[in-house]
């Protein structure tokens, strides 16, 4: 039915229909020109998918957005994430120990229009969760720079920052800055004690009203921690 619909209805019209349905389902969801999301993607609210970007079979937390020309599939994105331009995932896996790395010798999906095998011989994607729903999990308050590639099976911790042009091949710890090809640790954003505090406190799980009322504290980690710890002392 889905393939028949694509043959009968122009892709541009399908995207318009999907955007209309998704905007009716979700709060403050905005799409840029030629942006696309499928109906299996769930938005928590206040999300923006910018020009020429697409996302499918995914979950996106409150306040997170995708910049232009980004393409993501089967990814779980936390709250308050900033995803740069031209970010990609879902690259798949080719065998390195077969005589040929061409999919005609290990896959029945006919990526090149044909196949020499009648059964799949390798797992073509590496999932990050046991339920095999997501190829990548991106934590909360993560900033991913432009032109970043995320390999299958990678988890990115809360508060992490990925530099422009990085190719991420392994998990990233919370509040760690990485960059390069392959991506390597540059430094941590904060001390171990501060990182532990932020991971435990999880400000992104506070309601929007609380965050709005305390937004003036977010530019100074010492002031923020002193206020939070002082509030606990008063209870």
14 lies in some domain: no
| pTM, to two decimals | 0.88
- Please indicate whether residue 125 is annotated as part of the active site: no
- Over residues 39-63, the pLDDT tens digits come to 999 999 999 999 999 999 999 999 9
- Over residues 124-137, the pLDDT tens digits come to 889 999 899 999 99
d(CA 59, CA 33): 21
225 lies in some domain: yes
C-beta separation of 183 from 165 below 8 A: no
215 lies in some domain: yes
Residue 81: pLDDT band with limits 50, 70, 90: very high
Average pLDDT, integer, range 186-207:
97
192-201 and 221-234 helices, crossing angle to 10° = 60
Active-site hit among 26, 94, 102, 125:
94
23 lies in some domain: no
211 lies in some domain: yes
Inform me whether the pLDDT recorded for 4 exceeds 80. no
> Range of 199's domain?
191-235
d(CA 131, CA 209): 34
200 lies in some domain: yes
Average pLDDT, integer, range 207-235:
86
d(CA 11, CA 25): 21
Look at the chain and report how many structural domains it folds into: 1
148, two tokens: 């970043």
3-state helix, strand, coil in the chain (%, to 5): 25, 20, 50
Residue 122: pLDDT band with limits 50, 70, 90: confident
214 lies in some domain: yes
């Amino acid at each position: 039915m889905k393939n028949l619909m694509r043959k009968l209805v122009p892709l541009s019209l399908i995207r318009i229909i999907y955007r209309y349905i998704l905007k009716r389902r979700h709060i403050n969801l905005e799409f840029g020109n030629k942006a696309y999301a499928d109906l299996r993607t769930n938005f928590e609210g206040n999300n923006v998918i910018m020009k020429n970007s697409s996302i499918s079979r995914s979950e996106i937390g409150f306040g997170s957005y995708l910049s232009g020309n980004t393409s993501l599939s089967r990814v779980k994105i936390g709250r308050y994430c900033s995803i740069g331009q031209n970010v990609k995932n879902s690259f798949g896996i080719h065998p390195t120990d077969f005589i040929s790395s061409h999919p005609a010798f290990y896959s029945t999906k006919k990526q090149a229009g044909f196949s020499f095998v009648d059964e799949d011989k390798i797992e073509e994607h590496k999932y990050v969760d046991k339920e095999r729903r997501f190829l990548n999990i991106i934590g909360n308050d993560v900033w991913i720079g432009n032109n970043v590639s995320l390999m299958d099976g990678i988890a990115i911790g809360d508060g992490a920052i990925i530099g422009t042009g990085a190719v991420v091949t392994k998990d990233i710890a919370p509040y760690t800055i990485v960059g390069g090809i392959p991506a390597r640790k540059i430094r941590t954003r904060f001390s171990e004690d501060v990182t532990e505090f932020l991971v435990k406190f999880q400000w992104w799980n506070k309601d929007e009203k609380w965050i709005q009322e305390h937004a003036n504290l977010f530019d100074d980690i010492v002031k923020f921690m002193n206020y939070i710890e002082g509030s606990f002392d008063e209870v």
